[in-house]
Amino acid sequence: MVKKEYRSRAFWRIAAVWTVLTMSAVTPLSALADGPGGSSSSASAVSVGIAGPGAESGQGPLPTVTEDYPTIESTVHAGEAVPTVGGGTGTGTAASSAAVSSEIAKPEISSEAAALYDVTHGQFLFEKNSGTRFYPASITKVMTALLAAENLNPDQTVTVSEAAVSNLESGAVTLDVKAGDTFRAGDVLYGMWLKSANELANVLAEAVSGSVSSFVGKMNARAAQIGATGTHFANTNGLNDSNHYTTAHDYALITAEAFRNSTVQKVASSLHYTFPATGTQGSQYLTMGHKMLNPASAYYYENFIGGKTGYTSKAGNTLTSVAEQNGVRLVAVVLKSSGTHYPDTRKLFDYGFAAVQSSAQNAANSSQSGESGSQGPGAGQVSGPGASGSSDANAGSVIGSRWVEETAGVWKFLKKDGTYAASETLRIKDHYYTFSADGRMVTGWQNGDGYWRYYRSEGSMRTNVWIQSGGLWYYVGETGVMLTNTVTPDGYTVNEEGVWVP
Taking only the tens place, the pLDDT of each residue in 46-88 is: 333 332 223 333 467 878 888 888 776 666 665 555 444 333 3
Return the closest-CA partner of residue 371 out of 92, 82, 81, 85: 85
Rounded CA-CA distance 225/26 in Å is: 8
Question: Which of 293-297, 409-413, 475-479 is predicted with the least confidence, judged by mean pLDDT?
Answer: 409-413
Distance CA(229)–CA(221), nearest Å, equals: 10
pTM attached to this predicted model: 0.59
Give just the sign of the alpha carbon dihedral 9, 501, 479, 226.
Answer: negative
DSSP string for residues in 459-478: SPBP-SEEEEETTEEEEE-T
Burial 293-319 (b: 16+ CB within 10 A, else e): bbeeeeeebeebbbbbbbbbeebbbbb
Residue 260 to residue 256: CA distance in whole angstroms = 7
> Per residue in 182-200, pLDDT tens?
999 999 999 999 999 999 9
Binding site members for substrate: 308
Q: Are the C-beta atoms of 156 and 182 separated by less than 8 Å?
A: no
DSSP 148-183: HHHH--TTSEEE--HHHHSSPPTT-------TT-EE
| Residues involved in catalysis | 138, 141, 196
Q: Residue 87, exposed/middle/buried by CB under 10 A (0-12, 13-18, 19+)?
A: middle
Q: Which whole number is the average pLDDT over 234-256?
A: 95
Distance, in Å, from the CA atom of 321 to the CA atom of 68, rounded to the nearest integer, reads 31
Evaluate if residue 435 carries a pLDDT over 70: yes
Please tell me the predicted confidence (pLDDT) of residue 457: 83
Average confidence (pLDDT) over 282-309 = 96
Taking the C-alpha atoms of residue 302 and residue 295, their distance in angstroms, rounded to an integer, is 8
Q: What is the sign of the dihedral through the CA atoms of 247, 225, 470 and 405?
A: negative
Tallying the residues shown for the chain, one arrives at 502
How, if at all, do strands 47-48 and 410-414 pair?
unpaired
Annotation: binding site: 308
Instruction: Walk me through the domains of the chain, giving residue ranges and CATH numbers.
Output: 113-358 (3.40.710.10), 408-501 (2.10.270.10)
The per-residue pLDDT for 400 is: 60
